[in-house]
Amino acid sequence: MAAEDFDPDNTGYISTEKFRSLLQRHGSELDPHKLEVLLALADSNSEGRICYQDFVNLMSNKRSNSFRQAILQGNRRLCSKALLEETGLSLSQRLIRHVAYETLPREIDRKWYYDSYTCCPPPWFMITITIVEVAFFLYNGVVLDRFVLQVSHPLYLKNALLYHPQLRAQAWRYLTYIFMHAGIEHLGLNVVLQLLVGVPLEMVHGAARISFVYFAGVVAGSLAVSVADMRAPVVGSSGGVYALVSAHLANIVMNWSGMKCQFKLLRMAVALICMSFEFGRAVWLRFHPSAYPPCPHPSFMAHLGGVMVGITLGVIILRNYEQRLQDQTLWWIFLSIYVIFVLFAIFWNIFAYSLLDLKLPPPP
**Catalytic position from the list 33, 181, 205, 303:** 303
**Catalytic position from the list 64, 211, 226, 238:** 238
- CA 105 to chain CA centroid, Å, is 15
CATH number, domain with residue 28: 1.10.238.10
Q: Are residues 57 and 128 in the same domain?
A: no
Kindly state whether residue 260 falls inside one of the protein's structural domains. Answer: yes
- Tell me the residue type at 131: I
Q: Are residues 196 and 295 in the same domain?
A: yes
CATH number, domain with residue 245: 1.20.1540.10
Q: Judge whether 354 counts as a catalytic residue.
A: no
Vertex 197, ends 110 and 340: CA angle to 5°? 100
Pick from 118, 111, 101: nearest CA to 81: 111
Q: Are residues 222 and 331 in the same domain?
A: yes
Pick from 307, 305, 152, 191: nearest CA to 244: 307
Which residue, of 15, 47, 62, is where some domain finishes? 62
pTM given for the model:
0.82
Kindly state whether residue 76 falls inside one of the protein's structural domains. Answer: no
Q: Judge whether 26 counts as a catalytic residue.
A: no
Residue 155: domain span? 124-356
How many Cβ atoms are within 10 Å of 163's Cβ, its own excluded?
27
Q: Are residues 165 and 274 in the same domain?
A: yes
Q: Are residues 161 and 267 in the same domain?
A: yes
Q: Are residues 219 and 344 in the same domain?
A: yes
Residue numbers of the chain with a pLDDT score lower than 70: 1-13, 15-16, 19-20, 22-86
Q: DSSP characters for 67-131?
A: HHHHHHT-SS---SPPGGG--S--HHHHHHHHHHHHH---HHHHHHHHHH---SS-SHHHHHHHH
Kindly state whether residue 92 falls inside one of the protein's structural domains. Answer: no
Kindly state whether residue 101 falls inside one of the protein's structural domains. Answer: no
Q: Is the peptide bond before 364 cis (omega within 30 degrees of 0)?
A: no
| Domain count of the fold of the chain | 2
Kindly state whether residue 114 falls inside one of the protein's structural domains. Answer: no
CA–CA gap between residue 131 and residue 125 (Å, rounded): 10
Contact at 8 Å (CB) between 198 and 326?
no
